[in-house]
Amino acid sequence: MAVSGILLVLFLVAHMAGNLHVFEGRASMNEYAHGLRTFGEPLLPHESLLWVLRIGLIAAAAVHIWTAVVLTRRALAARPVRYASKKPAKGESRHAAATMRWGAAVVFLFIIWHLLDLTFRTVNPVKDVPDAYGAVVATFSPERWPVTVFYLLALLALFFHLRHGIWSAVQTIAGPNSKWRKRTQAIGLAVALIVVLGFAIVPLSVTFGLVK
Amino acid sequence: MKLSLRIWRQSDAQAQGKMVSYEIDEVSEDASFLEMLDVLNERLISEGEDPVAFDHDCREGICGACSLVIDGQPHGPQAATTTCQLHMRKFKDGDSIDIEPWRAGAFPVIKDLVVDRSAFDRIIQAGGYISAPTGTAPDAHAVPIPKQDADAAFSAAACIGCGACVAACPNGSGMLFMGAKVTHLGLMPQGQPERHTRVLGMVAAHDEAGFGGCTNTGECAAACPKEIGLDVIGKLNRDFRKAAIRAA
């Protein structure tokens, strides 16, 4: 859970940073997208970097989901009779229990939509694969506002997921002392904010006409 | 004070339990929570009913026997307090209070509010001990121990093994309990010979007993009457990683 989660966070940071090319204009964004496909050529085959990333991501996501299912099943078995009276959570990660599993479901559904939209272009008006810029502008256009709203909702779920997930992964792998645990929690919150805001700025800029 | 209680009643381990309502009058606000239950039980006995079974022993907050989930919170609403040290002045006249046993598959209910916590004993048997020479006890200051290690080990040793961590955990995990034992013994020179087998043995016994996995929500530390913090789970994870690599 922790190791696969950290790998996925590293991917998110790289993906978020790459998305910001959209602010440099159509040529720069499409050149970046083209660069991802042709990285290492002619020494390496076409799309070799992309395939390494794809296989790594699929493996990390599979391990992440599988370990989550194992943990959830153990948790359900460990409390066969529920409490009659509920209490508000008051632990250090008090939002975790309420947001991790439901948030994960939202993020999972979002990823399916996201792949159909911007990778396979099944539901995107721009079918021309090299025109990444055009696809982004088309999908977040103001009249397709539900797409943007769903994107932002998924980001909200991702924010809560990362805010707990990052420090929880460090706690599992490294086991910091109290001082470093507090620092890890602060770093987790900062990374979650940076990643989510970095992703959110793209669809918002398109919807509000800053990127055309 | 006048209170409405809803208490989990279950005649034995196999029986189907349910929440039963009781009205209780003239409760002194200076009474402890357990004394309030004593008053209720005296009335139930005088009426020919079965009294409410609940665990208790020292009633001074150090034995770890009391185990009531009060309004969904293990040991009730007051932080760093066992049920026996919780007083009725924390409640208001006319309050309705839910009282349930620890809820965990590894802690089966024996009767009413009493659960079987021998799963914790099995975890201790799997590693919560040290090798010590027999004979005369050595002088306490014969082995030098850094002050900060001694303090951290002492804080972890404050664990009374009540199981509130498991009761509070949304996953029903016993990681805080194990972490307290691993930290307490692992920081002491006397605990070093078994340091690696201890953590592997305890985690295996924990999983075998049917406790859940830790997801670091921190509910355990918030519920702990001895204020044991999440740093002991960090220490447990650290020791487990080292021991697992060494064993591989």
Q: What is the pLDDT of residues A119-139, one digit of tens each?
A: 999 999 999 999 999 999 999
The DSSP-derived string for A147-175 is HHHHHHHHHHHHHHHHHHHHHHHHHHHT-
CA distance to partner chain B, nearest, from residue A2 (Å): 10
Does B238 sit within 8 Å of A92, measured CB to CB?
no
Q: What is the pLDDT of residues A194-204, one digit of tens each?
A: 999 999 999 99
Q: What is the pLDDT of residues B51-67, one digit of tens each?
A: 999 999 999 999 999 99
Kindly list the residues from chain A whose CB atom is less than 8 angstroms away from the CB atom of residue B172: 75, 78-79
Kindly give, in sequence order, each residue whose CB lies less than 8 Å from that of residue B39, ignoring residues fewer than 6 positions away: B24, B27, B31
CA distance to partner chain A, nearest, from residue B135 (Å): 37
pLDDT value of position B32: 97
Does A171 sit within 8 Å of B216, measured CB to CB?
yes
For residues A201-212, b (16+ Cβ closer than 10 Å) or e, as one string? bbbbbbbeeebe
Does A90 sit within 8 Å of B237, measured CB to CB?
no
CA dist A89 and B219 (Å) reads 7
For residue A82, give the chain B residue with the closest CA: B103
Asked if pLDDT for residue A112 goes beyond 90, the answer is: yes
Q: Which of B69, B211, B219 sits opposite A78 (nearest CB)?
A: B211
Does A176 sit within 8 Å of B106, measured CB to CB?
no
Q: What is the pLDDT of residues A174-190, one digit of tens each?
A: 999 999 999 999 999 99
- Answer whether B3-111 and B118-130+146-247 agree in fold: no
B210 reaches A (C-beta below 8 A): yes
pLDDT value of position A143: 95
pLDDT value of position B185: 97
Question: Mean pLDDT for chain A?
Answer: 96
CATH class of B118-130+146-247: mainly alpha
Does B104 sit within 8 Å of A92, measured CB to CB?
no
Complex ipTM value: 0.93
CA dist A76 and A82 (Å) reads 10
Which residue ranges make up each domain of chain A?
2-79+95-207
Share of chain B above pLDDT 70, in %: 100
pLDDT value of position A155: 98
Q: How confident is the model at residue B132 (pLDDT cuts 50, 70, 90)?
A: confident
User: In A, what residues contact B, Cβ < 8 A?
Assistant: 70-71, 74-75, 77-87, 89-94, 96-97, 100, 164, 167-168, 171-178, 181
Q: Which of B21, B219, B232 is best to mutate for the A interface (most A CBs within 10 A)? A: B219
Q: How confident is the model at residue B138 (pLDDT cuts 50, 70, 90)?
A: confident
Rounded to 5 degrees, what angle do the CA atoms A102, A107, A109 make? 95
Asked if pLDDT for residue B133 goes beyond 90, the answer is: no
Task: Say which CATH topology domain B3-111 has.
Answer: Ubiquitin-like (UB roll) (3.10.20)
Q: How confident is the model at residue A162 (pLDDT cuts 50, 70, 90)?
A: very high
CA dist A206 and A142 (Å) reads 8
pLDDT value of position B110: 98
Residue A122: DSSP 8-state? T
Kindly list the residues from chain B whose CB atom is less than 8 angstroms away from the CB atom of residue A85: 6, 69, 71-72, 98, 100
- The stretch A98-117 carries a mean pLDDT of 96
Which residue ranges make up each domain of chain B?
3-111, 118-130+146-247
Asked if pLDDT for residue A98 goes beyond 90, the answer is: no
B9 reaches A (C-beta below 8 A): no
Q: What is the pLDDT of residues B184-225, one digit of tens each?
A: 999 999 999 999 999 999 999 999 999 999 999 999 999 999
pLDDT value of position B137: 85
Q: What is the pLDDT of residues A202-211, one digit of tens each?
A: 999 999 999 9
Kindly list the residues from chain B whose CB atom is less than 8 angstroms away from the CB atom of residue A71: 171, 212-213, 215
Asked if pLDDT for residue B92 goes beyond 90, the answer is: yes
CA dist A154 and A103 (Å) reads 8
Q: What is the pLDDT of residues A38-81, one digit of tens each?
A: 999 999 999 999 999 999 999 999 999 999 999 999 999 999 99
